[in-house]
Chains A and B, each alone.
Chain A
């Protein structure tokens, strides 16, 4: 069963907050493997998490 990009974008976000059900996880993986747009979104959101974790440390040096 294929999922749409819209559904995939929701699952990417959800997956950052909790363990997705196995079935949703498989569908998402299958989708990301073939969809460059959603893969980019997924990378962007992972980067965003990383960036936000560092935000307060900025400016310590100055």
Chain B
């Protein structure tokens, strides 16, 4: 185990990573700073619990996830029930004919995995994520990035499972369209 000051500086070095991670889940810069700060404090206070068996980054990310969920839960409590226009999947109805068939079939993307090696691709993906409505993005990122179960997410955001499913559908449809348009071409 590293000396205390060394541990502190190792932890501090990971701050930018943690900020990036938290920013994906919490758009509010202040909430991001708070969550990261709380994580770093908890880490320094709990150094003894860091057995050195897992990677420091993995351990910190684990703590951060809890802080993020706390922040999201707090936010949704505070955000009273503001008329939520994000619960409707019908905007994607225009992708389909009245009989339920595609107006235009999605085509297969060519060698999508090659994109995973490109920095630029992730910039596009990030831009697509930024275009999603806030709650839609939140549900999607909690599910796909934090890896939470949908039941858990609905509970934390105080929304119904049906609504949750609609938001996931909206997020995925919008993102695949956005990537198609801006990266994979038509």
Residue positions of A touching B, CB distance < 8 A: 4-7, 9-10, 13-14, 16-18, 36-41, 43-45, 47-56, 58-60, 62
What is the CA–CA distance of A53 and B141 in the complex, to the nearest angstrom?
A: 9
Q: How large is the interface on B (under 10, 10 to 19, 20 to 34, 35 or more residues)?
A: 35 or more
Q: Is the interface of B mostly helix, strand, loop or mixed?
A: helix
Contacts A4-B101, A43-B109, A53-B145 known; A48 to B24 CB distance under 8 Å? no
User: Shortest Cβ distance from B141 into chain A, in angstroms?
Assistant: 8
Q: Is the interface of A mostly helix, strand, loop or mixed?
A: helix
* Closest B residue to A13 using CB positions: B169
Interface residues in B137-183 by Cβ distance below 8 A to A read 140-141, 143-145, 150, 165, 168-169, 172-173, 175-176, 179-180
* Closest B residue to A60 using CB positions: B17
User: Shortest Cβ distance from A14 into chain B, in angstroms?
Assistant: 6
> A55 near B145 (CB under 8 angstroms)?
yes
Of B4-12, B32-40, B119-127, which stretch is located at the interface? Answer: B119-127
- Choose among A4, A9, A54 the residue that contacts B99 (Cβ–Cβ < 8 A): A4
User: Shortest Cβ distance from A19 into chain B, in angstroms?
Assistant: 11
